[in-house]
Every structure is written in C-alpha cells, then in structure tokens.
Amino acid sequence: MRKRVTIEMIAKDAGVSKMTVSRAINNPEKLKRGTLIRILNSMKKHEYKPRFVARILAGSRSNTFGFIVKSNEDFVIPPFYGECVRAASNWFKKHSYRSMIFNMSDEQSASLFIDYVNSGLIDGLILFEGTHEKSLLKALKSNDIPVVLVGEDPEGTYDFYSVSSNNYNGARMAVEYLIAKGSREICYITGIGTKPSVEERLRAYTDVMCEHNLEAISVPAENTLRGGVKAVEELIEKHPSFDALFCFTDLIAIGALRGLRKRGFDVPKDVRVVGFDNIHISEYVFPSLTTVSQDMTLMGEIAARTLLQIMDETQPNDSEKHVKLPTRLIIRESA
C-alpha cells in the first residue's frame, strides 16, 4: 500500500505552507499565478486527492445529497422512484452536486444512513413516499437536515417541502374513463398503508363510483407483481362479475394482467385494466397498459431544485411549499 499523499507533502514539495495548498484547492483565485501552478503541478505529480472525511471533519460541506428509497420484492429501486431519482440526480449534477441512493429496507441500512447524515456526509435529502416514517422525519427535523418529500407528508406535522402528483384527479380520470368506455362493475385494487397516495386514489375511485350510482368494491394488495396476481384471485373469488380493474400502481396492474390471463379472462375484452404511474415497462407488456402517468422527471427536478433553494439561504426562495403536479391518462391496449 502506497503511503497516503497528504496536503502536507504537497506543501513541502511545492515549497509553501499547507494553507496555501488548501487555498489552491478551495480559493485558487486568491493565489499568485506562479504559486498556484506550482502547487497544481505538484498535486498532479503526486496524484494528490484531498481526503474527503478530513474535509468534512474540518467543517466543509459534502456537496452531496441523498435519496431515500424503499425497496420492494420486485425491485431494489422501484421503477417509479428510479425515474425521479434519475431526474433529480441529473439536476444536481448540472449544479455540480453529487448524490447517492440509500435504500431503506431494514435497520442496518437505516443505521448507515443515520451515520452519514449526522456526520455531515450528506447535505440534504429527498425522501420518497414509503419512507416517511415519523421517527425518521423527526430525527431529520431535529438535526436541521434540509429535506424534500416526494409524495405528501402523511402527518403534515413536520412542515417539510413536498412534491407529489395530484392523485385524486389522476384516479378520477382513470375511473371516469372506464365508465365512459362502458364498464360498470369496476373494482379497485388499492394499496396498503395510510399513505396519502393510497387514500386519495381510493377516495377518488369511491367518489366517482358513487356519483354514477355504481358499487365501489376494493381489495388491498402489496405493491408488487405478485400482489396484483393475488388481488385478482381474491376478486374472482368474491366478485366474479367485474368487468374492469383499476389498480393502485402499474406493478399491481401488470400482476393483475397475469392473474386474469391465468383464469382465462381476456384483457380488454372481458376486463379492462388501468394502472397508475406509467413506468417504462408498462408500454411493453401485453396488452400494453393504459395508465395514469405521473411526470417523474418533473417531480425529480422540482424536488432537487427545491432542495437547493432551501439550502442556499442567500437566494430568494420562490419554491412552493407543496407542489402538486397534474397527471395524464395514457391510453393503450388494456382499456
């Protein structure tokens, strides 16, 4: 193992003090041209890289942001969050910040992430729905970590900035579309938990059905492919006469497609199916999925931009506290 190259060695080599080398790195404009060049050369020659942890310990910003995402059975980074992350991460990059993903799937990952945060390794965070646990939010708040939520804050008690889609309108569109197409016995495969997205989409479904004097029937499912299959089976058991399914997510919908086929149903002839999210693969499955599209790229960008604004107190902050993005109905083969 080669011995580590430190700032001190560069200083000695370039015939200056450590401080001058430090300036060469952080405020090069404050140095005389000659000195700067000499130092730069020496750094290159010795392949000097400042040691990240030392800078942090001495008080520097990390210029690094984190994403906290919850895995599911099918994906370590579920596609919907993945696209938001990609967009946010590009935004950060454009502004010379770096970013990294923490997948919060267990205690162990949580501990790592907490260590990072309270060590100064992370300057700010974007939390995706599913990770908005009270204890976590509280910890972040009390440590003064800048945070933006993707998805609404379930409690609202911590007053974080948030970016989400208009879940209610999106779900309404989907159900109204199914009704317009002639479906009457529309069942809803809902999500699990008390997340706002779950509650709003369910409420929209119930409202629309009610407005049309149709019976609202919903069953819950894990947000996974398998969850979709199981929900369909439950539905066939309990309400075999449905002629359409609205699903909490595309993942569930794709599972539902499989479940329906297994039982001999044709989509869309026997049963129309609509999902939510418009993840990449929904366009490729058969039948391709009619779905409510969330603009993940825009969500990611807004989340990133908001976070930067929160942190940069010198700039005027024109970010809305709670952004709600419109959704679009994407009509494909399944309904």
Examine residue 18 and tell whether it contacts DNA (CB under 7 A). Answer: yes
145 binds DNA (CB under 7 A): no
Which residue of 54, 76, 112, 210 would you call a contact of DNA, by CB under 7 A? 54
In the bound complex, what is the minimum distance in angstroms from residue 10's beta carbon to DNA?
8
Verify binding: residue 15, DNA, rule CB under 7 A.
Answer: yes
Q: What does 8 bind: a copy of itself, DNA, none (CB cut-off 5 to 8 Å by kind)? A: DNA
| Amino acid sitting at position 252 | I
Burial 203-221 (b: 16+ CB within 10 A, else e): ebbbebbeeeeeeeebbbb
317 binds DNA (CB under 7 A): no
Q: Applying CB under 8 A, which residues contact a copy of itself?
A: 1-2, 49, 51-54, 56-57, 64, 71, 73-77, 79, 82-83, 85-86, 92-93, 98-103, 106, 108-109, 111-112, 114-116, 118-121, 142-144, 225, 229, 254-255, 257-258, 261, 280-281, 283-286, 288
Let me know: does 122 contact 68? Beta carbons within 8 Å: no
Residue with tokens 């595309």: 250
For residue 268, is the peptide bond before it cis, meaning its omega torsion is within 30 degrees of 0?
yes
- Determine the angle formed by the axes of helices 7-14 and 18-26, rounding to 10 degrees: 110
The region of 9-17, 127-135, 259-267, 301-309 touching DNA under the rule CB under 7 A is: 9-17
If binding is defined by CB under 7 A, does position 1 make contact with DNA?
A: no
By three-state DSSP, how is residue 294 classified? coil
Among 26, 41, 63, 111, the residue binding DNA under the rule CB under 7 A is: 26
> Are the C-beta atoms of residues 249 and 276 closer than 8 Å to each other?
yes
Q: How far is CA 15 from the centre of its chain?
A: 49
Residue bearing tokens 């990294």: 100
CA of residue 298 relative to chain centroid, distance: 11
Describe the strand order of the beta sheet including 328-330 as a list of residue ranges: 217-220, 186-190, 244-247, 272-277, 290-293, 328-330
Please measure the distance between the N-terminal and C-terminal CA atoms of the chain and give it in whole angstroms.
62
From the list 37, 41, 45, 57, which residue makes contact with DNA (rule: CB under 7 A)?
57
* Comparison of 47 and 237: residue with beta carbon closer to DNA: 47
Contacts of 26 (CB under 8 A, 6+ apart): none
Q: Which residue has the tokens 């007053």?
A: 159
Rounded least distance, CB 73 to a copy of itself, Å: 8
Check binding of 7 to DNA (CB under 7 A).
yes
Q: How far is the CB of 35 from a copy of itself (least distance, A)?
A: 25
Q: Does 22 bind DNA (CB under 7 A)?
A: yes
Q: Give me Rg for the CA atoms of the chain.
A: 25
Selected from 8, 215, 270, 320, the binder of DNA by CB under 7 A is 8
Q: Which is nearer to DNA, 7 or 208 (CB)?
A: 7
User: Which of the stretches 31-39, 75-83, 223-231, 307-315 binds DNA when contact is defined by CB under 7 A?
Assistant: 31-39
Neighbours of 19 (CB within 10 A): 10
Q: By CB under 7 A, name the binding residues for DNA.
A: 4, 6-8, 15-20, 22-23, 25-26, 30-32, 34-36, 48-51, 54-55, 57-60
